Amino acid sequence: MATPARIPRIKQTFKDWIKQQKWLTLIGLPILLAATYAGYYSIWGVLFVFWGIKSTMSGEVYLLEPINRTQNPILFWAISVMWVGFGIMYILADIYQ
């Protein structure tokens, strides 16, 4: 049981833990799971488009391993275009069932 002297330390540890969390990811995971369960794949499409745009801005893409734009430009652009293409495909699949 926590003694009164330990309570401030426990509170500080909890605050530090809260600050370290990736809240966007923690919120997004259940939304993605619920959307997949319900059969709405357009949210995955938005995520794929986001990944494609983010990779072109950062110059690095991840598909099993990091791919750098300057070291492997053909592979980088193939993966980035594929992600945006998949994203558009998923969005359109939900719109035009």
Q: What is the 3-state secondary structure (H, E, C) of 56-90?
A: HHHCEEECCCEEECCCCHHHHHHHHHHHHHHHHHH
- Greater confidence (57 vs 3) lies with 57
Mean pLDDT across 54-69: 91
Q: Decide if 18 is inside a domain.
A: no
- Greater confidence (21 vs 50) lies with 50
Q: Decide if 69 is inside a domain.
A: yes
Mean pLDDT (the chain) is 85
Task: Note the pTM of the prediction, 2 decimals.
Answer: 0.70
Lowest mean pLDDT among 8-17, 42-51, 75-84: 8-17
Q: Decide if 24 is inside a domain.
A: no
Domain span at residue 47 reads 39-97
Q: Decide if 77 is inside a domain.
A: yes
Q: Is the pLDDT of residue 39 over 60?
A: yes
Between the alpha carbon of residue 70 and those of residues 16, 48, 52, 79, 80, the distances in Å are 38, 22, 16, 14, 14
| pLDDT band (50, 70, 90) for residue 7 | low
Q: What is the pLDDT of residue 4?
A: 59
Q: What is the pLDDT of residue 8?
A: 62
Q: What is the pLDDT of residue 28?
A: 85
State the total domains in the chain: 1
